[in-house]
Amino acid sequence: MKKLVIAAAVMALTLVSQSYAREGFYLGLQIPYNTIGGDFDNVKMPEVDAGSGFGFIAGYGFSPAFSLELDWAGSGHSSAGANIGFGEFSLNGK
């Protein structure tokens, strides 16, 4: 299955024409969908419902080949009657 996914991804990339980043300042919106899970302190954590949220993107394209973005996004979740907020802030280079 893993080989099939990799082969499909390579085939899809060969079909895409060359693209360029936008130069100058730009803004964007995002709608994240997050799931939370894991093993904290060697104890199984309680089930947390998946949640969606809202986010903002601000970027600057220095050239057609390079841009920097600041992204902020947050989503809401619930677990055992409690409300959980998940936030993410990142600096991305493209």
Which residues are bridge partners to 34 per DSSP?
Answer: 51
**pLDDT per residue as tens digits for the range 40-73:** 677 777 778 888 889 999 999 998 888 899 999 9
Q: What is the pTM of this model?
A: 0.62
Distance CA 28, CA 47 (A): 32
Q: Which of residues 5 and 91 earns the better pLDDT score?
A: 91
Label each residue of the chain as H, E or C.
CHHHHHHHHHHHHHHCCCCCCCCEEEEEEECCEECCCCEECCEECCCCCCEEEEEEEEEEEEECCEEEEEEEEEEEEEECCEEEEEEEEEEEEC
Q: Reply yes or no on whether the pLDDT at 24 is more than 70.
A: yes
What is the pLDDT at residue 43?
Answer: 73
What is the pLDDT at residue 25?
Answer: 93
